[in-house]
Structure 1
Amino acid sequence: MIVCLCNALTDTQLNEAVAQGARRPRDVYAACDCKAQCGSCTRMILSMIRDSQTAGLANPAGLP
């Protein structure tokens, strides 16, 4: 699913950037070789980052 219309970024690309260590929206954009345009996707990206961090706290060993 496309999350960022301006840069045509999918949820898969964004999740991959977060999994590789992006901790701020600008880190996610940088990992995808682009920059924020209109900013309408920023809330979704923040949510993805927070969900990832919460999942890491719930499962610190990284086990499935």
Structure 2
Amino acid sequence: MIVCVCHRVSDREIARHVRAGMGFDEIQFELGVATQCGQCETCARDVVAQCSASHPVAALQCDAGVRTVQLARSISESKAWKSSQASVVA
């Protein structure tokens, strides 16, 4: 999903930078998110918070066309983990 329309920055780009160890200020400088009109700042900060090190696993889920981030308590609770385990067993 595009978070910053002005600079065409997606939630996946922001998440990738968070996983690389960057905080919001560094991401803002690197990608330009929330530097033009500012309408995306709250959403961008939410994506950074949800993908931070304190939340080890985030899985995107579509509900009625709206993307939400559901956080698992551990990697073994993640849908991605279960589907990858099923393919290993098969």
Decide: shared fold, TM above 0.5: yes
**Matched residue, 2:45:** 46
**Matched residue, 1:7:** 7
List structure 1 runs of 4+ shifted beyond 6 angstroms.
Answer: none
Computing the radius of gyration from Cα coordinates, the structure with the larger value is: 2
Number of residues of Structure 1 aligned to a counterpart in Structure 2: 57
Structure 2 stretches lacking a partner, 5+ long: 57-72, 75-80, 82-90
Compare the two structures and name the one with the higher helix fraction.
1
Instruction: Tell me if structure 2 keeps the 8 A contact 1:22–1:31.
Output: no
Q: Structure 2 length normalisation: TM-score?
A: 0.51
Larger RCO, structure (CA 8 Å, separation 6 or more): 1
SS in 2 for 1:55: coil
CA RMSD of aligned residues (A): 2.0
1: CA distance, partners of 2:43 / 2:21: 17
